């Protein structure tokens, strides 16, 4: 396997996009660069399979690696080389999860690189041990989508059962974080969002059925213990897990997954909504389950904006539409408007910086073609002259941006373009087979 050589199947996808946009050379060039960015620059092959760096950080995030590789699922059904790469990424993710399901990012070897001075249960394999629900969601989603795209039944094996067992155990434990969790995390000499308060215990929570998270997908600390969009993602992937377990005749664990999903969903719908005086009933971003809410949305996925993309709800669900109206307005403290673009940013980056990931998600969850066209134009005028996507860019001056090499953003842009070209339906696994 040579990941430096671009497979014909990926080149074919690029040519199909060019035919959809025959007069837009700028978009053609941007798509080709961004679509191939993960394949050409972030995949490292060794005896443990394929290691995926995020770009400018030489570590493998469970979340980012899944999102980076996901657009290639379109080619996996017909191209064994691409399928092999994706499978090796999945199996490496499983290896890391079984080492420590509370860690979010890992080293290629037991090198001891990364944040080894953090006060938590570190090991030389771990780059960072910020516990995030989505770090466990993304690999399950990728496994399920790979199975659906390729029909590879051998991915449904005993190792996967062990991974699902480990994930369910953590999520059940964190339903009662205050009394049952072993997880603590503290970092010295850092901004407050990089550590957990209360002697490492983190955001307060009471039992609701939802599962607690220490950090957001931005790697910033949660303000309150229940991160609603991450719990939404957990509901969806527990459904995927149950389907795969049933296929393997693991009925008892499948039932456990379904019960946990139902408990989390009930918690979201009972404790995770807020009656807004302007927008009506909306989903909160975070809650403690005791009546405190954080009303916002963050650019990173899972986000409230991404709820239909995650498979939690439909695009036309009234509560989602109310929530979408709120988070794409000035009432969301991280929604910015500028001369070059308007969109959602993050407390992780400077004020007035919009994220390309959030723009891609807005485009893929938009029902209106005019909104999709606006988003496409935003991409074309906010890459800062590089042809690549970035973490955040200034809404008035896109040449001011964070992270020149950020493969997750490039992949999300690629997904959006593929969706506009009719080649990718977000959240629909059959679409990755071209159906």
- Give the residues across from 342 on adjacent strands: 337
Closest CA to 192 of 226, 217, 214, 220: 220
Residues ≥6 apart with Cβ < 8 Å to 390: 356, 383, 384, 401, 402, 403, 404, 406, 409
pLDDT, one tens digit per residue, over 89-128 is 999 999 999 999 999 999 999 999 999 999 999 999 999 9
What's the confidence (pLDDT) of residue 4? 64
Residues of the chain with pLDDT > 70: what percent?
Answer: 97
* Domain 25-427: CATH architecture, name and number where available: Alpha/alpha barrel (1.50)
What's the confidence (pLDDT) of residue 271? 98
DSSP state of 345: B
pLDDT, one tens digit per residue, over 5-26 is 899 999 999 999 999 999 999 9
pLDDT, one tens digit per residue, over 185-236 is 999 999 999 999 999 999 889 999 999 999 999 999 999 999 999 999 999 9
pLDDT, one tens digit per residue, over 292-345 is 999 999 999 999 999 999 999 999 999 999 999 999 999 999 999 999 999 999
Confidence of residue 429 (pLDDT cuts 50, 70, 90): very low
pLDDT at position 60 over 70: yes
What's the confidence (pLDDT) of residue 428? 59
CB 129 within 8 A of CB 96: no
CB 108 within 8 A of CB 61: no
Residues of the chain with pLDDT > 90: what percent?
Answer: 95
CA 14 vs. chain centroid, Å, equals 24
| Token pair listed for 384 | 């800062």
Residues ≥6 apart with Cβ < 8 Å to 153: 147, 247
406: Cα within 13 Å, side-chain hemisphere: 18
pLDDT, one tens digit per residue, over 109-120 is 999 999 999 999
Residue 177 CB-density burial (10 A; 0-12 exposed, 13-18 middle, 19+ buried): buried
Average confidence score pLDDT of the chain:
95
- The whole-angstrom separation of Cα 378 and Cα 169 is 42
pLDDT at position 431 over 60: no
CB 261 within 8 A of CB 235: yes
pLDDT at position 30 over 90: yes
- The whole-angstrom separation of Cα 232 and Cα 313 is 9
pLDDT at position 1 over 50: no
CB 187 within 8 A of CB 119: yes
pLDDT at position 2 over 50: no
If you average pLDDT over residues 13-42, what whole number do you get?
97
Mapped onto helix, strand or coil, the DSSP state of residue 121 is coil
| In the chain, domain spans | 25-427
Cis before 302? omega within 30: yes
pLDDT at position 386 over 80: yes
- The whole-angstrom separation of Cα 43 and Cα 65 is 9
**Angle at the Cα of 240 from the Cα atoms of 234 and 246, rounded to 5 degrees:** 130
65: Cα within 13 Å, side-chain hemisphere: 34
pLDDT, one tens digit per residue, over 139-164 is 999 999 999 999 999 999 999 999 99
Confidence of residue 434 (pLDDT cuts 50, 70, 90): very low
Mapped onto helix, strand or coil, the DSSP state of residue 274 is strand
Number of other CB atoms surrounding residue 269 within 10 Å: 12
């Amino acid at each position: 396997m040579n990941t430096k050589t671009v497979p014909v199947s990926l080149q074919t996808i690029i040519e199909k996009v060019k035919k959809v946009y025959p007069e837009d050379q700028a978009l053609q060039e941007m798509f080709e660069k961004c679509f191939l960015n993960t394949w050409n620059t972030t995949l490292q092959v060794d005896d443990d399979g394929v290691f995926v760096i995020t770009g400018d950080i030489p570590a493998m995030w469970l979340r980012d690696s899944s999102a980076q590789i996901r657009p290639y699922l379109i080619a996996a059904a017909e191209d064994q080389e691409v399928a092999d790469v994706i499978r090796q990424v999945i199996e490496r993710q499983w290896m890391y999860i079984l080492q420590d399901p509370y860690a979010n990012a890992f080293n290629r070897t037991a090198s001891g690189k990364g944040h080894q001075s953090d006060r938590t249960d570190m090991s030389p394999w771990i780059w960072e041990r910020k516990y995030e629900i989505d770090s466990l969601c993304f690999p399950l989603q990728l496994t399920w989508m790979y199975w659906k795209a390729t029909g590879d039944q051998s991915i449904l094996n005993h190792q996967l059962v062990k991974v699902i067992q480990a994930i369910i155990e953590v999520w059940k434990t964190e339903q009662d974080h205050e009394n049952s969790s072993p997880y603590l995390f503290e970092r010295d000499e850092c901004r407050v969002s990089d550590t957990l308060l209360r002697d490492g215990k983190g955001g307060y929570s009471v039992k609701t059925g939802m599962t607690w998270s220490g950090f957001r997908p931005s790697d910033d600390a949660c303000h309150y213990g229940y991160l609603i969009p991450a719990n939404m993602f957990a509901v969806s992937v527990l459904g995927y897990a149950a389907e795969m377990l049933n296929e393997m005749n693991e009925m008892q664990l499948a039932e456990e997954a379904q019960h946990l999903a139902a408990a989390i969903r009930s918690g979201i719908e009972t404790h995770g909504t807020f009656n807004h005086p302007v927008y009506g009933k909306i989903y909160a971003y975070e809650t403690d389950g005791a009546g405190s809410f954080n009303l916002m949305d963050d650019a990173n996925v899972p986000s409230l904006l991404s709820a239909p993309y995650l498979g939690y709800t439909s695009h036309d669900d009234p509560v989602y539409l109310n929530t979408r109206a709120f988070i794409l307005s000035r009432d969301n403290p991280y929604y910015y408007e500028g001369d070059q673009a308007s969109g959602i940013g993050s407390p992780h980056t400077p004020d007035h910086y919009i994220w390309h990931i959030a723009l891609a998600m807005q485009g893929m969850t938009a029902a209106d073609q005019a909104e999709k066209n606006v988003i496409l134009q935003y991409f074309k005028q906010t890459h800062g002259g590089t042809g690549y996507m970035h973490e955040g860019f200034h809404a008035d001056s896109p040449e001011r941006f964070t992270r020149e090499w950020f493969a997750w953003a490039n992949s999300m842009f690629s997904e959006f373009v593929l969706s506009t070209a009719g080649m990718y339906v977000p959240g629909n696994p059959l679409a990755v087979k071209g159906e």
